[in-house]
Amino acid sequence: MTEHATDQLPIVTDTAGHTYIGADAVVVLLRAIAESCRNLADDPDCDLRSAAAAIDLEADNLDCRAIERTR
């Protein structure tokens, strides 16, 4: 099973059943995205499309976790 960076983000559910991540988790997420972009910038075989694809995978993972949390 693939480990995703977003697996580490805590998801909370409010009394109405909506899911959220805290501001501190958002900061961690943004820093991880920035670090990934820096790493990809040094790889001649990668471009912004590669970075976007990686970010999309993490967003999909986070979305699935939020859906699971509300079931």
Residue 30 domain flag? yes
Q: pTM for the whole thing?
A: 0.76
Q: Which domain holds residue 12?
A: 8-70
Name the domain count of the chain.
1
Contact between 65 and 6 (Cβ < 8 Å): yes
> Is residue 3 domain-resident?
no
Cβ contacts of 7 within 8 Å, gap of 6 or more: 61, 65
Indicate whether 1 belongs to any domain.
no
12-66 tens-digit pLDDT: 999 998 999 999 988 988 888 888 888 888 888 888 888 888 889 989 999 999 9
Residue 2 counted as domain residue: no
